[in-house]
Structure 1
Amino acid sequence: MLFKKNSDLSSLSLTKQKPTLLAVVICILASCFYMYEFILQVSPAVMTNQLISDLKLNAITLGTMTAFYYYSYTPMQLPAGFLFDRFGPRRLLTIAILMCALGAFLFSSTTTIATASAGRFMMGMGSSFAFIGTLVLISRWFPSRYFAFLTGLVELMSCIGAIVGETPLTIAVDHWGWRHTILNLAVIGVILGLLIWLIVRDSPEVVSKGHKFQPTSKKGVLHSFRQVAENNQTWFIALYSFMVWAPITAFAALWGIPFLVIAYGISTKAASAACTMIWLAIGIGCPLLGWWSDTVNLRGVPLKFAASLGLIGLIPVIYIPHLPLLWLYICLFLFGLAASGQSLAFGVVKDNNHSSVAGTAMGINNMATVAGGALFQPLIGIFLHFSWNGSYYNGRPFYTLEDYRKAFIILPFCYLIAFLIGKFLIRETHCQQQSNVSL
Structure 2
Amino acid sequence: MAGPPLRLFMNQFGWRSAMMIVAGLTLGVAALIHGLARDNPSEKGYADRLPVCRVDRHFSIGAVAAGMAEIFHYRNSWLLLVIPGSMTGSVLSFCGLWGVPFLTTHYGMTPAKAAVLASAMMVSMAAGGLCFGWLSDRSGKRKPLFLLGCFGALVPFSVALLIEGLPIPILVAALLIASFCANAVVITFAIAKESVPARLSGTISGMVNMGTMSGPMILQPAIGWMLDFKWHGHMEAGVRIYSFEAYRAGFSLMLAWLLLSLVLLIFIRETHCRQIV
TM > 0.5: yes
Q: Render the CA deviation track for 1:167-212: whole Å, top value 9, x for unaligned.
A: 121111111111100011122123223323333344455566xxxx
Deviation at 1:216, TM superposition (A): 4.2
Amino acid aligned to 1:199: L
1:258 aligns with 2:101: yes
Equivalenced residue count is: 266
Matches within 5 A, 1:205-244: 206=43, 215-218=57-60, 220-244=63-87
Deviation at 1:332, TM superposition (A): 1.0
1:430 aligns with 2:267: no
Amino acid aligned to 1:419: L
1:180 is aligned to 17
Deviation at 1:260, TM superposition (A): 0.9
What RMSD over aligned residues (CA atoms) do the two structures have, in Å?
A: 1.9
On the 8 A contact 1:304/1:418 being kept in 2, the answer is no
On the 8 A contact 2:105/2:241 being kept in 1, the answer is no
Aligned counterpart in structure 2 of residue 410 of structure 1, from 241, 249, 253: 253
Amino acid aligned to 1:334: I
Deviation at 1:258, TM superposition (A): 0.5
Q: Distance in 1 between matches of 2:136 and 2:26?
A: 36
Q: CA 1:265–1:204 in 2, change beyond 3 Å: closer, same or farther?
A: closer
Q: Distance in 2 between matches of 1:351 and 1:207?
A: 28
Aligned counterpart in structure 1 of residue 224 of structure 2, from 367, 375, 381: 381
Query: Is the partner of 2:268 in helix, strand or coil?
Result: coil
1:198 aligns with 2:35: yes
Q: Distance in 2 between matches of 1:206 and 1:183?
A: 34
1:371 aligns with 2:222: no
On the 8 A contact 2:84/2:215 being kept in 1, the answer is no
Amino acid aligned to 1:310: A
Give structure 2 stretches of 5+ with no counterpart. 46-55
Query: Is the partner of 1:344 in helix, strand or coil?
Result: helix
Matches within 5 A, 1:265-280: 265-280=108-123
On the 8 A contact 1:278/1:333 being kept in 2, the answer is yes
Deviation at 1:273, TM superposition (A): 1.1
Q: Percent same amino acid at aligned positions?
A: 26
Q: Distance in 1 between matches of 2:169 and 2:64?
A: 50
User: Under a length normalisation based on structure 2, what TM-score does the superposition of the two structures give?
Assistant: 0.89
Q: Distance in 1 between matches of 2:30 and 2:151?
A: 40
Aligned counterpart in structure 1 of residue 147 of structure 2, from 288, 304, 320: 304
Q: Distance in 2 between matches of 1:223 and 1:265?
A: 54
Q: Distance in 2 between matches of 1:277 and 1:283?
A: 10
Deviation at 1:222, TM superposition (A): 3.3
Q: 4+ residue runs of structure 1 moved beyond 6 angstroms?
A: none
On the 8 A contact 2:231/2:242 being kept in 1, the answer is yes
User: Under a length normalisation based on structure 1, what TM-score does the superposition of the two structures give?
Assistant: 0.58
Q: Render the CA deviation track for 1:81-111: whole Å, top value 9, x for unaligned.
A: xxxxxxxxxxxxxxxxxxxxxxxxxxxxxxx
